[in-house]
Amino acid sequence: MSSVNSQIQDRTLSLPRIMCLHGGGTNAKIFRMQCRALIAQLKSEFRFVFAEAPFISEAGPDVMRLIEWNGEHRMPWKSNDVLLVADAIRALAKQENIAA
């Protein structure tokens, strides 16, 4: 990471975080792109944290119409396996240095 990006990131550490969870058939990168107008308006007040779902899935129909180039698509859960979702949230919280 460049020192400029590192300095910007350090300034946002004290901001309240908004956890951004994408739906099935997309991924965190696509969701971040979809939220760019919201982020632009609120980036001085909040830190946006985009979690990646744990399971690979087919791309959603809306995603395929807009973005056909973007690698793996994911979904938040498979069947009823909510425990893995909770583990993913805890891992992200640990990465962001916050309590889950």
- Tell me the domain boundaries of the chain: 3-95
Residue 90 identity (one-letter amino acid): R
pLDDT for res 37: 96
| Residue 22 CA: distances (Å) to CA of 8, 40, 44, 58, 63 | 24, 18, 22, 14, 12
d(CA 1, CA 43): 19
Strands of 22-98 (E only): list them: 47-51, 55-57, 73-75
Judged against a pLDDT cut of 90, whether residue 50 lies above it is answered with yes
Cβ atoms < 10 Å from Cβ of 31: 19
- The reply to whether the predicted model has a pTM over 0.85 is no
Judged against a pLDDT cut of 80, whether residue 74 lies above it is answered with no
